[in-house]
Amino acid sequence: MISQDSSLATTGIPAPAVALLDDVEDLVSPPEICMQVFELIHSPNAGAREIAEVVAVDPNLTARLLRIANSSFYNFSRKIDTVSRAVSVIGTGELYQLVLSISAVKTFSGVPNELVSMETFWKHSVYTGLLARALAIRANVLHPERLFVSGLMHDLGSLLLYGQQPDAMRDLLLIAEGDEEVLYQAELERLQFSHADVAAGLMDQWQLPPELVEAIRWHHQPESAGVAAVEAHILYLADHLVNESEQGNFMGAPRVDIQIPRSRLEAVGVAEDELFFAFEDAAEQFPATLRAML
């Protein structure tokens, strides 16, 4: 792990979820390159050149990073052709989160499981991240790109549960019948924790900012979030709205009966008619971002 000083004890993650993460520590440890980038970002003696040199060691990571930097996700007016230039224009903090995101996709895409289509999973995750970012922009949230990262990561706990407790999760998926909210409640009742708890614990260990860890943990119950209430509500909205879409839904078939309580919109400060424009932005960015991430 990046740091031995984990804050899991203070985030209140249920003990069984922490135990599950302990069981798969080797599997979900962030790649060495993430740890090196994290250390350089927090070093007073390192700059864009030093960070770029570390990233450039991994050609696959470099290519994906530059594809994203040159996509409509950022919409820079000039072509970004070097990692050092990407570091300069994106910023070191956001670069770490982006490197972490790309590395997470690579790490978890190799996790074998028989319960979910990985293509469907990543479509849902990327689309949720893009819509969360678009909503955050309209809600005037500081550094809205953070919401893309949390949206991309919000369901990683599901992949761990599918791998570690396949029989239990097979039963719960049958109960849920494609309804993510039903699955979440069923997890809490049977396991005493949820995929959101596992994802939050993992992201805490991977040194994601505390407010994003909290948003991920409470993306099904945003009213329970504290300092990250707005971020949690944004994730809730993005997750639910994407499940209505053809391309980004949770289990391969869009749901048409999803109801969004008005209180959720009010918590974010986004008018209902703005949801359409946020969806337009996410839909436009989705194909290129998905190709870049995968």
Band of pLDDT at residue 112, cut at 50, 70 and 90: low
Provide the number of structural domains found in the chain. 1
Q: Classify residue 80: in a domain, yes or no.
A: no
The answer for 29, left when phi > 0, alpha when psi is -120 to 50, beta otherwise, is beta
* Tokens 């895409």 belong to residue: 109
Per-residue pLDDT of 10-68, as tens digits, reads: 458 899 998 998 888 776 676 778 888 888 888 888 788 888 888 888 888 888 889 98
**% pLDDT > 70, the chain:** 91
pTM higher than the cut 0.95: no
CA distance 34 to 29: 10
Q: Classify residue 186: in a domain, yes or no.
A: yes
Q: Classify residue 43: in a domain, yes or no.
A: no
Q: Classify residue 44: in a domain, yes or no.
A: no
Q: What's the residue count for the chain?
A: 294
Domain containing residue 170: CATH number: 1.10.3210.10
Whether the Cβ atoms of residue 230 and residue 247 lie closer than 8 Å to each other: no
CA distance 40 to 38: 6
Q: Classify residue 90: in a domain, yes or no.
A: no
Structural domain boundaries, residue 149: 14-29+113-293
Q: Classify residue 65: in a domain, yes or no.
A: no
Per-residue pLDDT of 52-96, as tens digits, reads: 888 888 888 888 889 988 988 888 888 999 888 888 888 877 888
Whether the Cβ atoms of residue 235 and residue 151 lie closer than 8 Å to each other: yes
Q: Classify residue 133: in a domain, yes or no.
A: yes
